[in-house]
């Protein structure tokens, strides 16, 4: 018999092992519940008890007397406990002696759906509205599935419709429909809320005014609240966008945000409802949009009723890939504040780009506002959290399996903002992707879970780099998918990228120092000085706070111009790294999910180059400097990008060709700048 050398034998053995590994079939429609046992099975495996001594939504999982127990403060707490056990089992953390006691950090953990009554979804990238407003019946099975998914991560509220609301939301037909949805969501511990339109009394019932101090207007809202509560006794309350982006509000009648919010609060108060009043306000005349929320809301601190909560976007402008935290979080002292994150990726590649936002949200939540001295993190300043949902009618809810990670991360952080982005990413990967048959857990962890986790963790910074690095922001055009630093879209200067990047032959960036818009002074010390001072301003926010010459030297010793080019290149190369890794992961993931991700990563890499070509190419017309030799050269001349737009479908979804390149077409008409 011929003797094979050891290495050959080992090779044959390894090949045999890997050929017996068969990826599990899955299509992403089970989301993060894929790897767990069904809820009913987990519930049946434990002894349960309601213990009023526990916090209302809290639970305690423990082993005693040879059995596993879940005690909880309420039915909702019990549900969270069962899902926590399901998760622990899927993660291999539910061994004998398990003892886990939890309660949510925030009482309000709410999804905001920007869904319209015609079934479109503003900034929705996963199909039409999952509430199916125009259908004869509500989609009960789908709503139940949504309820399970939300409950499994602790989400306990849902605002069903767009903040750019339609007055019809408050007519009898829609209240009845909302009541049916609320009846289902209640079973999952979810309260139902709606966004209202300020002028509803005028549109629906012909009132002459929307003045919050007008007794007729006040009576109208009181009657409307009574009508809603008659149909939905546990209705949560109203979310309001007023005097913002063309929406009317109390200021149209010479009244303040507090006057408006308090009128609604008074109508809801007898029923236990709340008002979530958004601080997303800015006027075209403001010299710095980033200043405006503090300018408008700080003078009103302490004037809001106790059932009003001011809902503030994480950054001072608008959900950009990187912003500093909104200074309002460090300024209001006598007003309840609520965080507004955006789960849907309006500025981070829609449902095409892999961008895990757990890292971005942690950056914000962990930021120190110094309001009450060191340790006053944003997470501690807010008492509630909202997230603009990324759900739609797509079978997988979010249009991309990797977009599900953001819904998951939002829920987990709203439950416990102290969790790390790493932990959440790890949990999500393990629960979402099924281990192939014939593969040990150890091998799966090493060969699949770890590299996918690493992709998630690097992904947001990659987007920042290829879209808007070093503190640049608002460089997008049209549908907010692609770059348009040249865009001078009328009618508002604060909707134009040039308002933000201020590139000229001398340099680039928005001067928000004391000698500029003085935005730095809206931050508490030592932050104001940290941002003001070029020596201490974090490099990743440099051009947010400073206008700097092209040859300004960064810490690396390279010029600003070179670093800008380098960051764009780094973003693209990071995505190329994701693509390479994904190729290697093919044996371990279902063909359906592998194909979907492979195509989207190709699109992401191509889009990244488009962002780079547009921005570096455009800024080069001011800097007059060459692109450094150690980065990939530009692919498309700038003058063939300017005045051309991305082809989108009727829902605003970007179109790409077979190779995953964005289809960029000439504008049909010239728009006067």
Dig out the tokens for 556 from the structure. Answer: 């690396």
> 3-class SS at 633?
coil
d(CA 329, CA 313): 10
* Smallest separation (angstroms) from ligand GCV to the CB of 347: 9
| Nearest alpha carbon to residue 635 among 655, 665, 656, 611 | 611
Nearer to ligand GCV by C-beta: 109 or 241? Answer: 241
325 binds ligand GCV (CB under 6 A): no
Closer Cβ to ligand GCV, 124 or 436, answer by number: 124
- CB closer to ligand GCV out of 277 and 280: 280
Choosing from 103, 174, 197, 241, the residue that interacts with ligand GCV (CB under 6 A) is: 241
What's the min distance (Å) between Cβ of 389 and ligand GCV?
A: 12
CB of 280 vs ligand GCV, minimal distance in Å: 5
The least CB distance from residue 164 to ligand GCV, in Å, is: 5
We find the least distance from the C-beta atom of residue 293 to ligand GCV, in angstroms, to be: 12
Q: What are phi and psi of 358, to 5 degrees?
A: -55, -40
Q: Is the dihedral of CA 456, 461, 466, 472 positive or negative?
A: positive
> With 0-12 CB in 10 A as exposed, 13-18 as middle and 19+ as buried, what is 109?
buried
Site for ligand GCV in 540-599 (CB under 6 A): none
If the CB atoms of residues 371 and 492 are measured against ligand GCV, the closer one turns out to be 492
Which residue, among 148, 199, 210, 132, has the nearest Cα to 170 in the 3D structure?
199
Distance CA 482, CA 465 (A): 14
**Using CB under 6 A, which of the segments 161-169, 393-401, 453-461, 529-537 binds ligand GCV?**
161-169
Using the contact rule CB under 6 A, the part of the chain among 21-29, 160-168, 201-209, 466-474 near ligand GCV is 160-168
CB of 50 to ligand GCV, least distance (A): 39
Active site (catalytic) residues? 245, 318, 346
Distance CA 116, CA 120 (A): 5
Q: Give the phi and the psi of residue 594 in degrees, each rounded to 5.
A: -65, -45
Binding piece for ligand GCV, criterion CB under 6 A, among 158-166, 193-201, 222-230, 304-312: 158-166
Query: Who's near 254: CB < 8 A, 6+ residues apart?
Result: none
Do the strands 67-72 and 308-313 form a parallel or antiparallel pair, or are they unpaired? unpaired
CA pair distance 522, 516, nearest whole angstrom: 13
Select 245 or 584, whichever has its Cβ closest to ligand GCV.
245
Q: How far is CA 292 from CA 90, 492, 498, 500, in A?
A: 46, 16, 19, 15
For ligand GCV, which is the closer residue by CB, 401 or 645? 645
Number of residues that bind ligand GCV (CB under 6 A): 10
SS3 content of the chain, % helix, strand, coil (to 5): 40, 15, 45
Distances (CA, A) of 15 to 8, 10, 12, 20, 289: 11, 9, 5, 9, 60
The nearest distance, CB 79 to ligand GCV, in angstroms, is 31
Q: Which is nearer to ligand GCV, 122 or 301 (CB)?
A: 122
Stretch binding ligand GCV (CB under 6 A), from 159-167, 298-306, 465-473, 551-559: 159-167
**Residue 480 beta carbon to ligand GCV: minimum distance, rounded to whole angstroms:** 6
**Contact map string, positions 164 to 203, toward ligand GCV, x by CB under 6 A:** x---------------------------------------
Q: Does 511 bind ligand GCV (CB under 6 A)?
A: no
CA-nearest of 463, 461, 467 to 612 is: 467
- Report the DSSP beta bridge partners of residue 64: 67
Task: Out of 32, 131, 146, 280, name the contact with ligand GCV by CB under 6 A.
Answer: 280
**Residue 495 in the binding site for ligand GCV (CB under 6 A):** no
Query: Would you count residue 296 as binding ligand GCV (CB under 6 A)?
Result: no
Q: Which of residues 97-126 bind ligand GCV (CB under 6 A)?
A: 114, 122-123
Out of 57, 71, 318, 562, the only residue in the binding site for ligand GCV (CB under 6 A) is 318
With respect to ligand GCV, which residue has the nearer C-beta, 426 or 487? 487
Q: Residue 492 has which token pair?
A: 């508002």
Structural tokens at position 376:
């006053």
Residues 6+ apart with CB under 8 A from 313: 279, 280, 319, 326, 340, 342
For residue 435, which of 424, 419, 446 has the smallest C-alpha distance? 446
Whether residue 72 contacts residue 58, with contact meaning beta carbons closer than 8 Å, is answered with yes
- Near ligand GCV by CB under 6 A: residue from 31, 84, 163, 475: 163
Q: Is 531 in the site for ligand GCV (CB under 6 A)?
A: no
Q: Which of these, 306, 319, 253, lies nearest to 280 by C-alpha position?
A: 319
375-414 mask for ligand GCV (x: CB under 6 A)? ----------------------------------------
- Cβ neighbours around 41 below 10 Å, total: 12
Q: Per DSSP, what are the bridge partners of residue 157? A: 110, 191
> Least distance (Å) from ligand GCV to the CB of residue 114?
5
CB of 296 to ligand GCV, least distance (A): 15
Q: Which residues bind ligand GCV (CB under 6 A)?
A: 114, 122-123, 162-164, 241, 245, 280, 318
């Amino acid at each position: 018999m011929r003797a094979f050398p050891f290495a050959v034998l080992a090779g044959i053995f390894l090949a045999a092992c890997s050929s017996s590994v068969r990826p599990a079939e899955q299509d992403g429609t089970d989301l993060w519940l894929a790897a767990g046992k069904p809820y009913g099975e987990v519930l049946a495996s434990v002894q349960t008890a309601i213990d009023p001594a526990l916090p209302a939504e809290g639970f305690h999982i423990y082993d005693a007397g040879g059995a596993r127990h879940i005690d909880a403060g309420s039915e909702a707490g019990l549900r969270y406990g069962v899902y926590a056990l399901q998760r622990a089992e899927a993660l291999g953390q539910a061994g004998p002696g398990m003892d886990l006691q939890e309660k949510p950090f925030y009482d309000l953990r709410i999804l905001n759906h920007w869904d319209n009554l015609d079934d479109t979804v503003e900034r929705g990238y996963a199909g039409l509205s999952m509430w199916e407003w125009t259908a004869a019946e509500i989609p009960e099975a789908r709503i139940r599935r949504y309820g399970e998914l939300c409950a499994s991560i602790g989400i306990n509220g849902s605002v069903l419709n767009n903040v750019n609301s339609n007055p019809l939301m408050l007519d009898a037909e829609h209240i009845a429909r909302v009541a049916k949805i609320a009846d289902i969501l209640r079973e999952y511990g979810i309260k139902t809320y709606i966004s209202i339109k300020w002028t509803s009394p005028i549109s629906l019932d012909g009132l002459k005014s929307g003045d919050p101090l007008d007794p007729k207007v006040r009576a109208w809202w009181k009657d409307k609240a009574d009508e809603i509560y008659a149909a939905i006794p546990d209705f949560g309350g109203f979310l309001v966008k007023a005097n913002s982006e063309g929406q009317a509000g109390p200021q149209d009648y010479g009244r303040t945000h507090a006057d408006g919010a308090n009128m609604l609060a008074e109508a809801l108060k007898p029923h236990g409802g709340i008002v979530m009043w958004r601080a997303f306000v800015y006027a075209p005349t403001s010299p710095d949009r980033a200043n405006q929320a503090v300018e408008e809301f700080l003078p009103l601190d302490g004037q809001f009723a106790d059932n009003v909560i001011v809902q503030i976007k994480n950054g001072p402008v608008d959900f950009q890939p990187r912003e500093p935290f909104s200074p309002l979080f460090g300024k209001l002292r006598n007003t309840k504040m609520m965080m507004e994150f955006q789960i849907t990726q309006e500025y981070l590649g829609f449902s095409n780009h892999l961008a895990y936002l757990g890292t971005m949200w942690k950056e914000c939540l962990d930021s120190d506002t110094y309001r009450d001295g060191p340790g006053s993190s944003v997470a501690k300043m807010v008492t509630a959290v909202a997230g603009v949902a990324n759900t739609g009618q797509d079978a997988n809810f979010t249009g991309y399996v990797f977009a599900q990670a953001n819904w998951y991360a939002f829920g987990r952080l709203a439950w416990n903002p102290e969790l790390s982005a790493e932990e959440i990413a790890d949990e999500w990967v393990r629960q979402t992707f099924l281990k192939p048959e014939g593969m040990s857990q150890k091998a799966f962890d090493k060969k699949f879970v770890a590299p996918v986790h690493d992709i998630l963790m690097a992904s947001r910074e990659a987007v920042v780099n290829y879209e808007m690095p070093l503190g640049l922001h608002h460089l997008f055009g049209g549908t907010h998918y692609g770059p348009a630093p040249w865009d001078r879209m009328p009618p508002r200067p604060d909707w134009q990228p040039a308002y933000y990047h201020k590139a000229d032959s001398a340099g680039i960036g928005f001067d928000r120092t004391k000698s500029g818009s003085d935005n730095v002074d809206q931050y508490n010390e030592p932050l104001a000085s940290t941002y003001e001072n070029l020596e201490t301003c974090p490099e990743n926010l440099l051009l947010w706070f400073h206008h700097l010459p092209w040859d300004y030297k960064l810490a690396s010793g390279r010029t600003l111009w070179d670093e800008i080019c380098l960051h764009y290149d780094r973003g693209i190369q990071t995505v190329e790294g994701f693509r390479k890794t994904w190729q290697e992961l093919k044996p371990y993931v279902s063909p359906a999910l592998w194909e979907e991700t492979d195509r989207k990563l190709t699109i992401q890499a191509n889009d990244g180059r488009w962002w780079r070509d547009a921005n570096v190419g455009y800024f080069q017309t001011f800097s007059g400097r060459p692109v450094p030799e150690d980065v990939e050269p530009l692919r498309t001349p700038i003058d063939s990008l300017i005045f051309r737009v991305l082809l989108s479908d009727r829902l605003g979804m970007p179109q790409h060709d077979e190779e995953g390149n964005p289809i960029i077409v000439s504008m049909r008409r010239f728009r006067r700048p």
